Amino acid sequence: MTRRKLVAGNWKMNGMARDLDAVAAIAAAARAHPDVDVALCVPATLIAAAASRGEGVWIGAQDVHANDAGAHTGCLSAPMLVEAGARVVIVGHSERRADQNETSHDAWAKAAAAHRHAMQVILCVGETEAEREAGRAERVVQAQIEKSVPEDATGDWFTLAYEPRWAIGTGRTPTLEEIACIHAIARAKLRQMIGDTAAGIRILYGGSVTGANAGAILFTENVDGALVGGASLTAAKFVPIIAAAAAGN
């Protein structure tokens, strides 16, 4: 089963109107590499403007509420994000699990809400450093997948991202063998839950991906793309990662 590579940027709480030129430059690179899917999850304040500058890129959000509307001060629903121009949303990011106490069940409900409104979903899982050192990385990731992946997930709309928390923003990455190991376990868990459909689901790696390490990581077995934080903030850093994904096709 061939899965197109997906290179997704997560700008986190970074990005002002002055940064929209970067969106345009990244979009130009995406159009130059049509064999690779490119997403850019910007702050909600920039979604509409980024969508107007980002032809060829899936402009996205970094969170969504599980409900479509209602008394939830400060939250944004899938219909609102879609109306603003978002085609994709990240759910269950470890920073939201840590800062907003989000659970795997929350991620499940948010993924379902986004899917109801025809959004693409990138759902994040990953262990802490303490969990890895205790030899529990595999079990933690399996449990997160079990609790958060919707039962109707298919590769048409659903992407899993393995982001070990200790690799995020640290410049440290697992070895390629460690990445391959968790990705194989993740795919086996998906297969156990949803059967052969699992073969069509992309599994991204995230955590300190750069232009320098992307080529090796992106062509590790069962790695179908990357979820990129810091190195997605400028075209100079992000475009080489898109090019690396295209190079192996």
Active site residues: 93, 163
Q: CA torsion, points 210, 173, 91, 153, in degrees to nearest 10? A: 100
Beta strands in 42-169 (DSSP E): 58-61, 88-91, 120-125, 158-162
**Separation between Cα atoms, residue 32 and residue 27, nearest integer Å:** 9
Q: Which helix (H) or strand (E) holds 121?
A: strand 120-125
Find, among 99, 175, 186, 105, the residue nearest to 139 by Cα: 186
Q: Which one, 41 or 190, has the nearer CB to ligand 13P?
A: 41
Q: In whole angstroms, what is the distance from residue 132 CA to residue 2 CA?
A: 30
Q: Could you tell me which residues are beta bridge partners of residue 9?
A: 40, 228
Interacting residues with ligand 13P between 65 and 94 (CB under 6 A): 93
From 10, 144, 148, 222, residue interacting with ligand 13P (rule: CB under 6 A): 10
Distance CA 172, CA 21 (A): 29
Among 123, 153, 168, 245, binds ligand 13P (CB under 6 A): 168
Query: Which residue in 130, 133, 134, 169 binds ligand 13P (CB under 6 A)?
Result: 169
- Torsional class of 67: left (φ above 0), alpha (ψ -120 to 50), beta (otherwise): beta
What minimum distance in Å lies between the beta carbon of 115 and ligand 13P? 20
- For residues 11 and 108, which CB has a smaller minimum distance to ligand 13P in the complex? 11
Q: Which residue is nearest to ligand 13P (CB)?
A: 229
Instruction: Show the binding pattern over residues 223-242: x = contacts ligand 13P (CB under 6 A), - = does not.
Output: ----xxxxx-----------
If the CB atoms of residues 150 and 206 are measured against ligand 13P, the closer one turns out to be: 206
- Of the pair 141, 194, the CB lying nearest ligand 13P is at 141
Query: Using CB under 6 A, which of the segments 23-31, 109-117, 204-212, 236-244 binds ligand 13P?
Result: 204-212
Interface with ligand 13P in residues 110-129 (CB under 6 A): none
Distance CA 158, CA 226 (A): 14
Specify the 3-state DSSP secondary structure of 182.
Answer: helix
207: contact with ligand 13P by CB under 6 A: yes
Q: Sign of dihedral through CA atoms 126, 223, 9, 230?
A: positive
Shortest separation between residue 240's beta carbon and ligand 13P, angstroms:
14
Cβ 206 to ligand 13P shortest distance, Å: 4
- Cβ 15 to ligand 13P shortest distance, Å: 14
Q: Which is nearer to ligand 13P, 190 or 241 (CB)?
A: 241
Nearer Cβ to ligand 13P (73/175): 175
Token digits of residue 106 = 């929350």
Tokens 């702050």 belong to which residue? 43
Residue at 149: amino acid letter: V
If one asks whether residue 15 binds ligand 13P (CB under 6 A), the answer comes out as no
Q: For residue 6, give the 3-state DSSP assignment.
A: strand
Binding site for ligand 13P (CB under 6 A): 10, 93, 163, 168-169, 206-209, 227-231
